[in-house]
Amino acid sequence: MVPILLSLLLIFFSPRWKGTALVQDYLGRVVEPIQFTVDIPSLLMEKCQLLFRDRLMLLAENIDLRQQQMYMQAKIQKLHALEAENLELKELLKSVGQETESFFVARLIHVNADPFSHQILLNKGKQQGVIVGQPVIDAHGLVGVVLATHQDTSRVLLLTDAGFAVPLQSVRSGERAIATGSGVGGELRLNYVPRTADFMEGDQLVTSGLGGKFPEGYPVGVITSIQHDPSTRFTLIGITPSAKLGQLRHVLLVKTK
């Protein structure tokens, strides 16, 4: 009887109780060794792949990466000019200046979480400066948000989880809406979009920065399906995430200054 009561109390009150994070932190220390043990095979695999790589292949890759870097740097040159221009225009409009962000890299720990919830585990935690609510991106777009931090690991809620929501903006029309994860099939949905809203298939959607949780302008996904159901008041819009969620190895944690 006692354990049943205890767990019912926990289920109902732990989301509201301040000590939950502390308890989870202490219990996390017990659990962390298990997660690191499970990660060893994939870590070894990566190391072995690195060890047995051909020298010529590495050289070719190096040249390729150098070219890519040059290309990116050329793009950034233009970006700096654009950023300056943007700032100037914003000042003219007397609006708030854009915040600058910095990143740091974290590696995925290959651990299967609960198959119901879409979560991943990173190898950076509280000690490395990860905080709850921090946005996580990969090279292509938004990945999710930090849900909980432990000593040396942190748990990230992917944007396809049913409990995830992010305010978005269409690049083409500037129309805004809120997207939530669908929980199945690696997709997001736009909620409560009136039928007259200007969304089209193929529209690129970026974070709008409203709400203050996510910085502005990171790509989230592309609209892949629009259904006008006459029986409902809203349009059903499906979004495919830009981030390559299936092939994640390293991700970037965004730090807003």
Partner 1 sequence: MMRVFRWWVFLAIGFYLSAILTVFPLPQSVQWYRPQWMLMFVIACQLMQPKLFNALIAWGIGILVDVLLGTPLGEHALVYAVICYITAFMRPKLILEPIWTQLGKIFLLVCLGQISLLWFHVFAGQNPQTLLYWFGTVTSCLVWPAFAWLLRVISQLLLVPPLFARR
**Contact residues for partner 1 (CB under 8 A)?**
2-4, 6-11, 14-15, 20, 23-24, 27-28, 30-31, 34-35, 37-38, 42, 110-117, 119, 147-148, 155, 162-163, 183-184
Rounded to whole angstroms, how far apart are CA atoms 194 and 198? 9
Task: For residue 223, give the nearest of 236, 240, 243, 247 by alpha carbon.
Answer: 240
Exposed, middle or buried, 255 (CB in 10 Å: 0-12/13-18/19+)? middle
Location of structure tokens 């990173």: 122
Instruction: Provide the residue type at 180 as one letter.
Output: T
Min CB(28)–partner 1 separation in Å = 6
Min CB(132)–partner 1 separation in Å: 13
Q: Where are the alpha helices (DSSP H) in 156-218?
A: none
Shortest Å, Cβ 79 to partner 1: 37
Q: Which of 134, 130, 228, 118 is nearest to 184 (CA)?
A: 118
Nearer to partner 1, 117 or 128 (CB): 117
User: Which residues fall within 8 angstroms of residue 120, CB to CB, at 6 or more apart?
Assistant: 108, 113, 144, 155, 156, 158, 248
By C-beta, is 130 or 206 nearer to partner 1?
Answer: 130
Of 4 and 93, which CB lies nearer to partner 1 in the complex structure?
4
Burial (CB count within 10 angstroms: exposed 0-12, middle 13-18, buried 19+), residue 52 = exposed
Considering the complex, state which of residue 15 and residue 230 has its C-beta at the smaller distance from partner 1.
15
Cβ distance to partner 1 smaller for residue 23 or 65: 23
Between 3 and 174, name the residue whose CB sits nearer to partner 1. 3
As a whole number of angstroms, the distance between CA 154 and CA 145 comes to 10
What is the SS3 assignment for 255? strand
* Least CB distance to partner 1 at residue 127 (A): 18
CB of 54 to partner 1, least distance (A): 28
CA distance 143 to 162: 14
Nearer to partner 1, 148 or 220 (CB): 148
